[in-house]
Amino acid sequence: MGQDVLALRRTGSNPRVPLHSQPNWLNGSLDGAFDNCFKDVDVFVHLAAHTANYPYDTLENCLYWNLTAPMKLIRQAADQGVKKFIIAGSCFEYGSSANKVEELTVDSPLEANNNYSISKAASSIAFLGMARQLEIQMKLLRIFQVYGDGEHESRLWPSLKKAAFSGADLPMTLGEQIRDFIPVETVAELILNAAIEKFVQNCSPEVKHVATGAPQKTIDFVNFWWKRWGATGKIIVGALPYRHMEMMKIVSSPEAIYRC
């Protein structure tokens, strides 16, 4: 769409998915000093997350890299004149709250129950507070069950794809978890649209969900792709236990979903 992109990456790292064109890379760390790097930036987009996949890091490290370090970066950007911010949150910030209601709203209690989601919930509260305090415009987008190329190999989608294309069997849980599966390409498009569309002008931060509005059982998701790929192995349902404090249902209310 013609935008110039300045992207922060760890020194020496490269994206998991090859890019059609390279952004202007800024090498460093989330907690680094970036004097005058953001003075020409129109919109700051924060997508980084620390140990979003099980097993999670310690709570202390999750809080530092998901809250303290990006908070320093956001403040630097704001001090350099950036007024518009997009923050990627997670549906897992709702934690146990998701099991108590039919649909989650942006006002549902944040009852996070693991180190990653606790740190993301804490960062949401802090970033929204910063937006009000610094009088900057902010959109916090809580992303639901995103999937696609580039995911960590331990997650459902890459495990499913690897088994399907290799002819192997797929051990899984009973698959009763209800999730709103959304492809990463759609998430990227929605975030881009959020960045280029008009922001709320009164400095009141906005919270929305990034979801399809069409939740389904995990077993149905697995069966769909297994059949579509023509997999020859077997899906071994119930071979794996549910994780401790598994969230069995994560569904967004239609009104909370971000529409571009």
Question: What pLDDT is recorded for position 108?
Answer: 98
> Architecture of 6-152+180-215+248-256 per CATH?
3-Layer(aba) Sandwich (3.40)
In this predicted structure, what is the pLDDT of residue 117?
97
pLDDT value at position 30?
A: 94
pLDDT at 12: 86
Place of tokens 């908070």: 71
Residue 50's identity, in one-letter code, is H
How far apart (Å, rounded) are the C-alpha atoms in residues 227 and 164?
9
Per-run averaged pLDDT (10 residues), the chain, 260 residues:
87 89 94 94 96 94 98 97 97 95 97 97 97 95 96 94 98 97 97 90 86 98 98 97 92 95
Domain boundaries, the chain: 6-152+180-215+248-256
pLDDT at 1: 58
Structure token digits, residue 154: 């331990």
71 three-state secondary structure: helix
Predicted confidence at residue 203, as pLDDT, reads 67
The radius of gyration of the chain's CA atoms, rounded to the nearest angstrom, is 19
DSSP SS3 for 118: helix
Residue 215, C-beta contacts closer than 8 angstroms, at least 6 positions apart: 178, 179, 180, 249, 250, 251
Closest CA to 156 of 229, 58, 54, 56: 54
Instruction: Judge contact between 45 and 193, C-beta under 8 A.
Output: no
